[in-house]
Structure 1
């Protein structure tokens, strides 16, 4: 047997009358005349199949059927109000779920402060954080596995939007006993002939090419002796004496006793950290995240 639908407007009228136990007071509270209120209650009683109120001159009281319906009616109205509030919060970019990919080195710079400020502003948003290098982040964006990527030197790609989050200079990474460690700033040309420890190009082509470009501008091609995906591993291999490296300045926060970080001379070149998202993704939480870092997404494309 099909259950009759109970319109929420009738349930609302029923709950108000059950609380006031007076048709005139309930109608005034609802902002309607008394006859429409009586009609709504009678329609609801028709759907239930039993009277919900005893009607006596000057007195209204709930019947047993009315007392049984009242808690369920209140739950239904509260559930609707909660659902509407939750939907508004998600639509406004104040709640929901946001999946963020990030390059591991950003845990040393922008990521902790960004996440702290975002959580302060949007405490009801659930964050799913995924550590990924640049190339996997771009693939994950296209595959809709993440909503936003925080990555280094991304190449512009069709369908993705980008906003610069920060720029930072490069540093030379040396064993602390290396002769060049005595200098405050090291000309890149003085690294010619030294073995290099670098991440594979595949995990971050833009940054890798920028480092190679720095060496090319100084007149040489770096001789890569070791590869390591994570910068912490790069620094560990440098500490072990397996080579030198060029890295974003935030790498200095990796504290290793046997590693020296020095500025480069000249030091005009900077590396960019950008946020990336799919232009066809209308998730308002993306705009909320970009607003936290002072950036706005462009129009969907």
Structure 2
């Protein structure tokens, strides 16, 4: 099949201006050219079309049927080009384009809402693709280039092709059935959980966080006995509510509202978990740099203290 002939954009522009002015002198002045070059552009375009586009009589210029037919297409072509150039410039400057973000589900309770709200306000032309995934899959997705930014807990230490920046530090809390005797306390010494069954995320979902929690237990003198694994913290809390076990979790998990679950601060109270934004070093997506710059300026996603406060205390709590 023969491909349609492309018409030169300068000739279409000259045609459109003349069609609007219907006067060679005014159209030439508007284009910033002399009248003869304008007439030459129109003649070349008519040669390509194969038919006259304008009726020229002394003191009068009018569109022919062929000119009337070409006019809407010329407008669409030039508008489309202008829109495309604007989109390209916005993407090149980092104001538009596509940013794929992976996030740990628990961060929908803390960092994520503020990050998305701030980023959309700063860059309304950008398109965000949001993907819920635990830490280990996020790291794989960053390396595989299926996401551009990760929001995860306990980033890995050591050399990496990925960059990490802390956006939140929060304490740990115990997650207890509301009827559990320890739920009456203001704080819970971690060694008091030594004989309890635990519900935890599987290590494969986030090795660093899993090791951090089990490490806290080991520092308190015991190895936690895992009764059940659950991939999401909301499921962990639901299983705790049924009495299947207890858990140790980041304090932001308190925002999961279950009547049958109590969240209590742990002793020692200095233990904290780190939330970080992750990206590929040298990524050429300008929106990645824009988001990191916004975080560095205290903007999108920079929410210190979001979930760092103490867990709610029982009305009759005792130390």
What is the TM-score with the length of structure 1 in the denominator? 0.90
Residues 295 and 224 (structure 1), Cα distance of their counterparts in 2 relative to 1, 3 Å cut: farther
1:86-101 map, 5 Å: 86-101=87-102
- Report the alpha carbon displacement of residue 205 of structure 1 after superposing the two structures with TM: 0.6
Quote the Cα distance in structure 2 between the aligned partners of 1:54 and 1:17: 12
Instruction: Give the drift of 1:2.
Output: 6.4
Matched, 1:21 2:42: no
Distance 1:47 1:272, change over 3 A: same
Q: 2-side partners of 1:2 and 1:175: how far apart?
A: 71
Take 2:32 and 2:49, find their aligned partners in 1: how far apart are those partners?
25
Matched residues, number:
296
Shift of 1:39: 2.0
Change (3 A) 1:102 1:58: same
Q: How does 1:242-257 map onto structure 2 within 5 Å?
A: 242-257=244-259
Alignment partner, residue 55 of structure 1:
56
> Cα RMSD between the aligned structures?
2.1
Q: Which secondary structure does the structure 1 equivalent of 2:253 belong to?
A: helix
1:158 aligned onto 2:195: no
Residue in structure 1 matched with residue 307 of structure 2 by the alignment = none
* SS in structure 1 at match of 2:173: strand
> Helix, strand or coil for the counterpart of 1:221?
coil
Residue 125 of structure 2: aligned partner:
124
Distance 2:33 2:166 in 1: 55
Q: CA deviation at 1:107?
A: 1.5
Cα deviation, residue 132, structure 1 = 0.9
CA deviation map 1:123-171 (0-9, x unaligned): 3333222211111111122222222221111214632122222111111
- In the alignment, is the contact (CA less than 8 A) between 1:163 and 1:295 conserved in 2? no
Counterparts of residues 67-106 of structure 1 (less than 5 Å): 67-106=68-107
Question: Is 2:39 aligned against 1:38?
Answer: yes
Structure 2 residue aligned with 1:170, among 158, 169, 172? 172
Q: What's 1:229 paired with?
A: 231
Q: Which residue of 2 aligns with 1:136?
A: 137
Q: What stretches of structure 1 of length at least 5 have no aligned partner?
A: 297-301
Unaligned runs of 5+ in 2: 299-319
Q: Cα distance 1:229–1:284, how it changes in 2: closer, same or farther (>3 A)?
A: same
What CA distance in whole angstroms lies between the structure 1 residues aligned with 2:3 and 2:160? Answer: 52
* Alpha-carbon separation, structure 1, partners of 2:224 and 2:4: 76
Q: Report SS of the residue matched to 1:136.
A: helix
The Cα shift of 1:204 comes to: 0.5
Match of 1:10 in 2: 11
Q: Is the 8 A contact 1:114 1:292 kept in 2?
A: no
Which residue of 2 is the match for residue 113 of structure 1? 114
